[in-house]
Structure 1
């Protein structure tokens, strides 16, 4: 296991994080939630930038506060609110990265910058949003880290730029023993990229599921009050009152398609599941 969070708690005023997550090797784990749900707080707690009030964090099988420098260098990070000074050039970054990371692969880093059209002599402050995003990911991948922690790495990017970043990450995952923890508010990125998804709402994990299971088995039923009263609710996870009647989230879409052919049954998506889990009610 690359990382484990066991009831990690952190409180800021009215906000309280209470998070349990496992990030295995050879797996891309997604953390999805609305702004302010606790994604960035979770990431910064894993990285030791915030100290939890209680709970346990293990990375590479060790308590997080026992990690040595060599193990810390096995973690690559992309945080939405931090990076190198905007007055540096990529050439300058390539010049000193080896001082911090003995395994920094300068030639490979430079080749990838060329491949993704990252200018070497231009100051970062003059980069487009897409170039900055690609550079952040390229840098995190440049020293052979086993574990990438990526907070909104595709935020603000157009479709082509997002796909370029995801291609980089797919390439990274081709080597066994690696893993990624990634957050994004763009559900389509997570649906095509993540093996497993955690949903966080108001600081708590409200769902953990394999992405394929969400897409293949989950669904949203829509019906009027009369049909709702007759419905077998055994496999209903959440219910939301609507103007037309009710929406119901299920993890057994096929059961309702077969047994209630007259009902409107929409195929599940990560967005739908998150919305229903966050705003729906439990029966």
Structure 2
């Protein structure tokens, strides 16, 4: 399988604190990988390590099959990046910004850019520092989608958007993957967004990957079951992904509902429930 991004056993420490521990996952061509976890779980550090903004202590990162891509300017053009804080020149207008990117990117597509600007209802002659947070995020996404990128790294890129704008942006992201066979690594606290467009789920907690699986498999085979504590020994330990105790019973996330005892009922899960149980697991 072709991986646009391949992260293998990344470890990062700040002093004595381990913030990433053997982090491993990949972004295949044609996929949208939902990267989820609480604040402080290690998502932003992972993004910064992938982008070469911080260096890992061990492990390797390959982008488009190559390491150290950050030293190759032409290859870097194929990566689109959006953080939750805008990093565009605030004193410029959109028209002025377009002229700047025409000089910076060999692959800049101003027709696509202005199509997105108009679609997102952004004012072309207004200085960017006067934009709302939602407008700024939509502009950053428009930029990331307008220079023929093959890999998008989006860290909380939909967080400042209203529901209608999020729906519009998610549609553009799905079109990008479908039309370019590109890939997206998308972190978000909005589980409904992840559930709508992600093809893969990667869950991180305290710098460790707890779950790395295709979303369709999670929704088809995983389940949540409430079971009295005295019956826990009946469960196959190999299918237990997470457990949380509630007085006399435990709530269990299992990876294969078909291996549950036949008299034990389970319920389908949503990304919201999955995230809550993994976050609060014991």
What is the TM-score normalised by the length of structure 1?
0.91
Structure-2 separation of matches of 1:109 and 1:237: 43
Partners of 2:103 and 2:249 in 1: CA distance: 63
- How far 1:65 moved relative to its partner? 4.9
Q: Give the C-alpha shift of residue 279 in structure 1.
A: 3.1
RMSD of aligned alpha carbons: 1.9
Query: What is the aligned counterpart of 1:16 among 19, 37, 44?
Result: 19
**d(CA) in 1 for partners of 2:268, 2:11:** 35
Query: Which secondary structure does the structure 1 equivalent of 2:172 belong to?
Result: helix
**Distance between the aligned counterparts of 1:132 and 1:266, measured in 2?**
40
Q: How does 1:1-283 map to 2 (within 5 A)?
A: 1-13=3-15, 14-18=17-21, 19-65=23-69, 67-228=71-232, 231=235, 235-256=239-260, 259-261=262-264, 263=265, 265-281=266-282
State the distance in 2 between where 1:89 and 1:214 align: 44
Q: Would the aligned equivalents of 1:214 and 1:269 in 2 still touch at CA under 8 Å?
A: no
Cα distance change, pair 62–228 in 1 and its aligned pair in 2 (3 A): closer
- 1: distance between equivalents of 2:69 and 2:120? 36
CA distance in structure 2 between the partners assigned to 1:30 and 1:231 by the alignment: 29
**Kept after mapping to 2: 8 A contact 1:199/1:208:** yes
8 A Cα contact 1:4 1:58, kept in partner: yes
TM-score w.r.t. the length of structure 2 is 0.91
What CA distance in whole angstroms lies between the structure 2 residues aligned with 1:174 and 1:157?
A: 23
Q: Show structure 2 runs of 5+ residues with no match.
A: none
How many Å apart are 1:121 and its aligned residue? 0.8
Q: Which blocks of at least 5 consecutive residues in structure 1 are unaligned?
A: none
